[in-house]
A and B are shown apart, each in its own frame.
Chain A
């Protein structure tokens, strides 16, 4: 193989190569699944064409990167698809399996180090190539599987008008053209040379014939007899200009090209997401600076300078907010880029388990912050795997339960105000509460005898001690990975819920913030320190002297418009004995429960930048992160969930 350009700059293209190849593999898998399910909504030809295009694109990219193994696999797939397209090979489960294998092999090619690949993979690749060759040869007697070209190309009529007047008789020239040895597609090049010659006169004979030149044996040498008024030098020049011509045995300058006016255009740019991260950080800092400015100007209120500055700062404020929204928007990507890899995985898992499943994706177009996108991949996979393994029953038990033999599994994304909701729903057997409770008691996770409700059930399943249970029976392993999901969802600042009905199935719901870097917060004071509460969780604020509340602190509750709300003192939680200053309440709501957080005072509503806290596990259970306030002081972000 010739040295390719990309090899010189592997870092520049490598990542893009991997990303785009993965995207195309997802497309291939999706189409293969449609074929496998014989989904009549999709045209077979379209599916094959789609797969072919993607395999072809992968091949081209792999070739450019100098990755022979991937190139070979893609090429073999292409050959098989070509045979399908030519209807010499029928789409059979075997053919689909070969294509699935090819796709899996390409996937492993991109994850492994390309240059170490030759040893480990070459055997498997050869085997696949052999199987594909057999599949192609099995139905047709063609000796050259693996090539898709060489259709008999007839004589070429070039649509360009002849330049010289033909009525005048012209001298005849014999022209022998020799193409360069390394000229790719010599037959095509010869056609281009001919096209140039035909512009200068009429070709009388051509040796070898145009058809023969399309064969692989064509060595790049051909002879033409031509009637042309052009001089020898002109002819030679024209032929040399056709490219890849080593020599011309006859010879004038080619005409100059034209220039078009350059037009303005709209351009799209792909931006590295890391650059967007930096931009978002900067704009967030800018937002903080804006708030400081607004505060300082507010202090100048009433003075002449204050009014002018006020107007300017209002404008600045508006612009910064707009910029912030714009950049946050630019970071949004459709969940499809993660969702689309699941149909293939679900198929493989279901196959291993010997279960039938109809898997549906909903809301692929829903957009989510890039940073969350990477984080939701594994949790979703855990949930899908659990549903397939434990939720959905075998066909026989489903039929016995009057359900369709094939289970239904749905992965859904939808928006709910500022949150993104992701659901994994199955129509399987549901979770057996009694059994889970029994096991939880056996493991000492719970002690009471009650049957857990959905939310309690999820707590139990999320308990790390529960999930390591490796036991027998229908419940076996149920919960494996649920603790992992629960903790990832927490890290993302989301919530996790479960709804299960015995015999009818389960729904796991992840509720995630659409964007996580910026957060609207309520700033509160506790013992001269400022803390931030996520505004999303705060439903109301109140003070002891409000007429709407009746404080009954001695009972540990306040009564707000007739509703009794439990009070939690932050001073108490943080280990301060003195509760004197506490006379304000931030009413937070988490998972349907309300709690009044008692604080000294409530100072402001602000947009804050969330910085993650890297702490030793357990040392900061009340705090989900930290932020820098307008005055440059740090503040911890209180996680209301830790107090419920």
Chain B
């Protein structure tokens, strides 16, 4: 059975790009969220194998969303999507419980590597 993924990003553009990369690699994108609040809600209802999480989102940012998700499910696997220059925020996200990160602009090979890494650990 293919692994399920929830994609959280406020930009449809980014969601589409991540979804395309993951689908091509055989993952099943089961949901998308545009805000941190949605991410938490959808995680609860979908229980995906993996969550990709943008750091900067409206209505509860990615870091708070990670904290919330991990507090509800300590085994949650969250992959942060960051931009260059967000080092401190990524560190914070990892402290909050994110398992790994990828940096924009996304290269498909790096994304898949990171996803496999998170799912394997």
Contacts of A16 in B (CB 8 A): 12-13, 16
B85 shortest CB reach to chain A, Å: 5
Are B11 and A52 touching (Cβ within 8 A)? no
Determine, out of A254-262, A309-317, A326-334, A599-607, the stretch whose residues face the partner at the interface: A254-262
Judged by a CB distance under 8 angstroms, whether B64 is at the interface is no
Contacts of B86 in A (CB 8 A): 148-149, 185
Are A268 and B11 touching (Cβ within 8 A)? no
Judged by a CB distance under 8 angstroms, whether B23 is at the interface is no
Judged by a CB distance under 8 angstroms, whether A77 is at the interface is no
Chain B residue nearest to A146 in the complex (CB): B85
Main SS at interface, chain B: mixed
Contact A185-B83, Cβ < 8 Å, known A52-B56, A263-B47: no
Are B1 and A6 touching (Cβ within 8 A)? no
Docked complex Cα distance between A32 and B92 (Å): 29
Chain A residue nearest to B34 in the complex (CB): A268
Contact A5-B105, Cβ < 8 Å, known A185-B90, A188-B87: yes
Docked complex Cα distance between A53 and B74 (Å): 28
Interface residues of A in 1-47 (CB under 8 A from B): 1-6, 13, 16-17, 20, 24
Contacts of A267 in B (CB 8 A): 30-31
Main SS at interface, chain A: loop
Contacts of A263 in B (CB 8 A): 4, 30, 45-47
| Chain A 470-506 interface mask (CB, 8 Å, partner B; 1/0) | 0000000000000000000000000000000000000
Chain B residue nearest to A58 in the complex (CB): B11
| Chain B 62-79 interface mask (CB, 8 Å, partner A; 1/0) | 000000001000110000
B75 shortest CB reach to chain A, Å: 7
Docked complex Cα distance between A2 and B74 (Å): 35
Docked complex Cα distance between A257 and B48 (Å): 13
Judged by a CB distance under 8 angstroms, whether A289 is at the interface is no
B5 shortest CB reach to chain A, Å: 11
Chain A residue nearest to B2 in the complex (CB): A262
A168 shortest CB reach to chain B, Å: 24
Are A2 and B107 touching (Cβ within 8 A)? yes
Contact A185-B101, Cβ < 8 Å, known A263-B45, A267-B31: yes
Are B120 and A256 touching (Cβ within 8 A)? yes
Are B105 and A66 touching (Cβ within 8 A)? yes
Docked complex Cα distance between A59 and B119 (Å): 29
Given contacts A13-B16, A153-B88, 10 further A-B pairs with CB under 8 A are A20-B13, A61-B14, A63-B104, A148-B86, A149-B88, A191-B94, A255-B121, A262-B1, A262-B28, A263-B46
Binding site for B on A (CB under 8 A): 1-6, 13, 16-17, 20, 24, 50, 52-53, 56-57, 59-61, 63-64, 66, 75, 147-151, 153, 156-157, 159, 184-185, 187-188, 191-192, 195-196, 214, 241-243, 254-263, 265, 267-268, 270
Binding site for A on B (CB under 8 A): 1, 3-4, 10-14, 16-17, 21, 28, 30-32, 42, 45-49, 56-58, 70, 74-75, 82-92, 94-95, 97, 99-101, 103-108, 113-114, 117, 119-121
Cross-chain pairs A/B with CB under 8 angstroms, 23 sampled: A4-B106, A4-B107, A5-B106, A20-B11, A53-B10, A53-B58, A57-B56, A61-B11, A63-B104, A64-B17, A150-B87, A185-B82, A185-B84, A185-B87, A188-B94, A192-B100, A241-B121, A243-B113, A257-B121, A260-B47, A262-B1, A265-B42, A267-B31
